[in-house]
Chains A and B, each alone.
Chain A
Amino acid sequence: MYMYDDFDAAFVRGRVAEFRDQVARRLDGTLSEAEFLPIRLKNGLYLQLHAYMLRIAVPYGTLDSRKMRQLAYIADRWDKGYGHFTTRTNIQFNWPKLKDVPDILDALADVDMHAIQTSGNCIRNVTADHFAGAAADEIEDPRPTAELLRQWSTDHPEFAWLGRKFKIAVIASEHDRAVLKSHDIGVRIVRGVADEPGYEIFVGGGLGRTPMVAKQIRSFLPKAHLLPYLESILQVYNLQGRRDNKYKARIKILVHETGIDRFRELVETRFQEKLPQFNGVNQKILRRIEGSFVPPAFEAAQPMPPVLGAGLQSWIDTNVAAHRLDHYGIVTVSLKGIGETPGDASSDQMRLLADLAEEYAHDELRVSHEQNIVLPHVPRRHLPAIYDRLKAAGLATANIGLISDIIACPGMDYCALATARSIPVAQQIAERFHELGLEHEIGPMKIKISGCINACGHHHVGHIGILGLDRAGVENYQITLGGDGTETTVIGERAGPGFSYDEIVPAIERIVSAYLDVRTDPEETFIECFRRVGMTPFKEALYPPEEARSNAA
């Protein structure tokens, strides 16, 4: 794991002191609210429906027990005893007071953390594959590159006031677990024709009002060229991106309106000019960063104790993924307990996760974009003990990848931008299918719920996507089907008219029944089935003719 050096530590403390001063200037009126707003956003501080909300960066989703315990401490000391892990692998606290925020930021700095650039129109926290360093299929650990990008983008003087937010993700395998193509820039680590290390670069992805799948702008970029290439993309975007309309200000719109070929020419021209300005120091920094992401001291294979009990077996089958070492597993701890708020963890749960990481799992934790917590390096012999401890804390739900493992944004229960609630819809869907006992029968299924058009809940790339809107003062939910957030990214197709709050769960149930009816066999997953049969059977299930409806009643 990356450890702060003196420079990082001094930098973060400096930013805390600066924010403390900015808060004081806001309170004495020398900074207006209009001026303070983007400044507080760049420090992670929103004003939501009921209170301020502080979004804390978890760079590339990586935590250790010390950091997780400090988050639990912050939850207890300054908030209401819980936090919310987000689809950008950050954590949000929902109830901080403005006057306390500088102290919270100091507490974060104590454990090498910060909230810098988790919001605002700037380069946001860089995300990566949450299985980084543990997955069997990766070429190398993507996190050193992500950390280099974190450093390069932090307080970048040219790109602190962009037209809109800017998100970058890094992966290092064919299989995409980080929704790479919904990012403004996606970086995939590859090998060149002579096996030399480099990057494949995608640009112009994004969800929101106008969802776009990122397009390839470079099939191979030598490693040393990453920063000048990204600076070129950012400079073209900053100068030429639209500023006349907030909803057209993301780079996806510029790429779309310019055309990827013309956009590539602009970037490549700029890149040739910029390349000589970069003297290679960043590659020395990258090598130093790589040195801090060495694999843990893996233990030798030891016998696994017998698996006693169906609960443990089911949890292992569902929540433990293959590690690059056979006698290790990657454990995903579900923050989607049936009827719970997706992504929420209490301070006690955070402390338990920290304990488990420290005692059994080489002291590493990850936040996944699907709002779960990952123990990436777990010797399989410890699985029974971990399961027992999780179970006692209500964290042993065996549902990873299943219908109740739902992504949901905070929605109108917290968010000032929301147009409808997300959380209770997720809770009710999970409860309903649990009650029916159908979760495992249905198999792999990704439901993603957003409470407004901004799509923080990734609904466009859910197998079933749900978008909550305000229709004439009433919550209304639109359904999209067939979305896919992996290496075969597809934006879901809208099924038809929306459903009211009371109708949405039965509507989802009808979709699932239709799938169970039309699938060829239990091996055919929902998304495979949808690709084979298309929208029609699901549309018929969702919108039965009047006659069928009255017969059913």
Chain B
Amino acid sequence: MTTIVTGNGISGDDWADRDVFAFDCFWNGQELPEEPLAVAFPNDREAADLVPWLDRIGLIVVDFPAFSDGRGFSVARRLRELGYRGRLRASGPLVSDQLRAALKVGFDEVAVAPSVAARQPASHWKVGAQESYQDRIAV
């Protein structure tokens, strides 16, 4: 089962039984259920494309192909700037040292890759209380 980390600790994936639809599901002609959907977000796509459908989305899963590929951090910031208020998940081999930044840019949670989860116990996934320079200069 996928390990989900939030600012409050580790949990299981409560979306695991439901589908995650492709980024282009709203305009590729496929049949979609009525309830809020989960949508996969490859990190080279344009966030503005999802704007007309944001209120139909309950979860956006932003892909991190590598922990060092930081495009997802800007994707999250952009989605929040564009008004998305639903759940936002970072998914990929992120390491615990990146949790703080992920939460700061607007992610609610990180789906930890099994390869990383196997090595990094729950105690490593902590945020700390430290204020950031960006909080201080209010950006």
List residues of chain A with CB under 8 Å of any chain B CB: 7, 10-11, 14, 18, 22, 25, 29-32, 35, 38-39, 121, 148, 151-152, 154-163, 227-228, 231, 235, 238-239, 243, 273-274, 277-279, 281-282, 285
Contact = CB atoms under 8 A, between A and B. Distances in A.
Given A151-B137, A156-B133, A161-B70, 10 more contacts: A14-B130, A29-B119, A35-B95, A151-B133, A152-B133, A155-B101, A157-B100, A157-B101, A235-B77, A243-B71
10 contacts: A11-B133, A152-B139, A154-B133, A157-B102, A157-B132, A158-B70, A160-B73, A235-B77, A282-B138, A285-B136
B136 A151 contact: yes
A239 B139 contact: no
B124 A159 contact: no
B34 to A, nearest CB: 31
A109 B121 CA distance: 30
Contacts of A29: 119
Question: How big is the B interface, by class?
Answer: 20 to 34
A113 B73 CA distance: 28
Contacts of B97: 18, 22, 39
Given A282-B137, A282-B139, A11 B130 contact: yes
B87 interface: no
A7 B105 contact: no
B104 interface: yes
A18 B98 CA distance: 12
B8 interface: no
A553 to B, nearest CB: 55
Interface string B67-99: 111110111011001000000000000010110
B128 A158 contact: no
Contact of B133 (A35, A155, A239): A155
Contacts of B131: 7, 11
Interface string B9-28: 00000000000000000000
The 8 closest A-B pairs by CB, nearest first: A161-B70, A157-B104, A281-B138, A157-B101, A282-B137, A238-B74, A151-B133, A158-B73
Contact of A14 (B68, B105, B128): B128
Contacts, number: 101
Contacts of B30: none
Contacts of A156: 133-134
A32 B119 contact: yes
B137 A227 contact: yes
A121 B68 contact: yes
A25 B120 CA distance: 9
Contacts of A281: 137-138
B93 to A, nearest CB: 9
Contacts of B120: 30
Contact of B81 (A32, A160, A274): A274
Which of A35, A39, A235, A281 has the most chain B CB atoms closer than 10 A to its own CB? Answer: A35
A231 B139 contact: yes
A136 B21 CA distance: 63
A231 B77 CA distance: 11
Nearest to B132: A155
A488 to B, nearest CB: 35
Contacts of A159: 70, 73-74
Given A157-B104, A158-B73, A152 B95 contact: no
A35 B67 contact: yes
Contacts of B138: 278-279, 281-282
A461 B132 CA distance: 38
Contact of A38 (B68, B78, B105): B68
Interface in B37-83: 67-71, 73-75, 77-78, 81
Nearest to A152: B137
Given A30-B120, A35-B95, A157-B132, A285 B137 contact: yes
A287 to B, nearest CB: 12
A279 B136 CA distance: 12
A39 B97 CA distance: 9
Contacts of B68: 38, 121, 161
B119 A30 contact: yes
Contacts of B101: 155, 157-158, 160
Given A31-B95, A159-B70, A160-B73, A273 B105 contact: no
A7 B104 contact: no
A504 B136 CA distance: 53
A152 B134 contact: yes
A163 B138 CA distance: 25
Which of A154, A160, A278, A285 has the most chain B CB atoms closer than 10 A to its own CB? Answer: A160
Nearest to B73: A158
A148 B134 CA distance: 11
A25 B70 CA distance: 22
A277 B70 contact: no
A31 B101 CA distance: 18
B77 A277 contact: no
B120 to A, nearest CB: 6
Given A35-B67, A278-B138, A158 B74 contact: yes
Nearest to A8: B133
Contact of A239 (B75, B102, B119, B130): B75
